[in-house]
């Protein structure tokens, strides 16, 4: 089974990691686990006027790795193998796109993360994933 575990560094995403660890323990064979953080894009016009593409890519990678660190630690402590991914884009759409590209059979994620105010204004990432996903989605809260 291929699982995409989307995290954002929030307490809720830590619970999603715990849920995936528990699910993996119940499976006969360990899942192929993909750990994903989606970084919102910096407004391109602003960014390209002030920093190089290489510097922007390094920023996304560094921030993404920092956000993945707690989930990585949880998975490593549980002895689970995983492949980390950092992507840039709109989180809901990117999560579903990556899950499809990787051939995942399940998406696991938290119901909300750091952006409670943003969720009220632009909609929930979890809601977007539920709307767009072509595979089952496990939400943790």
CATH code of the domain containing 131: 3.40.50.620
Query: Is the pLDDT score of 3 beyond 80?
Result: yes
Q: Are strands 106-110 and 83-88 parallel, antiparallel or unpaired?
A: unpaired
Query: How many domains in the chain?
Result: 1
Instruction: Provide the 10 A C-beta neighbour count for residue 84.
Output: 17
Q: Where are the alpha helices (DSSP H) in the chain?
A: 11-26, 44-50, 53-77, 91-102, 116-122, 125-132
Task: Answer for the pair 72, 13: CB distance below 8 angstroms, yes or no.
Answer: no
User: Which of 67-76, 112-121, 126-135 is least confident?
Assistant: 112-121
pLDDT bin (cut points 50, 70, 90) of residue 43 is: confident
CA geometry: angle 115, 130, 114, nearest 5 deg: 10
Look at residue 88 in the predicted model and tell me its pLDDT. 95
Task: Answer for the pair 88, 122: CB distance below 8 angstroms, yes or no.
Answer: no
Q: Which domain holds residue 28?
A: 2-140
Of 77 and 114, the structure prediction assigns the larger pLDDT to 77
**Of the candidates 69, 65, 80, 71, the residue with the CA atom closest to the CA atom of residue 1:** 80
């Amino acid at each position: 089974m291929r699982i995409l575990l989307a995290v954002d560094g929030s307490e809720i995403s830590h619970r999603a990691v715990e849920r995936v660890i528990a699910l993996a323990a119940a499976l006969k064979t360990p899942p192929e686990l993909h750990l994903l953080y989606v970084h919102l894009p910096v407004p391109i016009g602003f960014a390209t006027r002030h920093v190089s593409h290489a510097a922007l890519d390094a920023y996304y990678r560094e921030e993404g790795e920092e956000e993945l660190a707690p989930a990585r630690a949880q998975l490593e402590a549980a002895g689970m193998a995983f492949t980390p991914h950092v992507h840039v884009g709109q989180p809901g759409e990117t999560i579903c796109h990556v899950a499809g590209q990787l051939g995942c059979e399940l998406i696991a994620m938290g119901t909300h993360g750091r952006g409670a105010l943003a969720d009220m204004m632009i909609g929930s990432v979890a809601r977007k994933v539920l709307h767009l996903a072509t595979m089952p989605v496990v939400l943790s809260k």
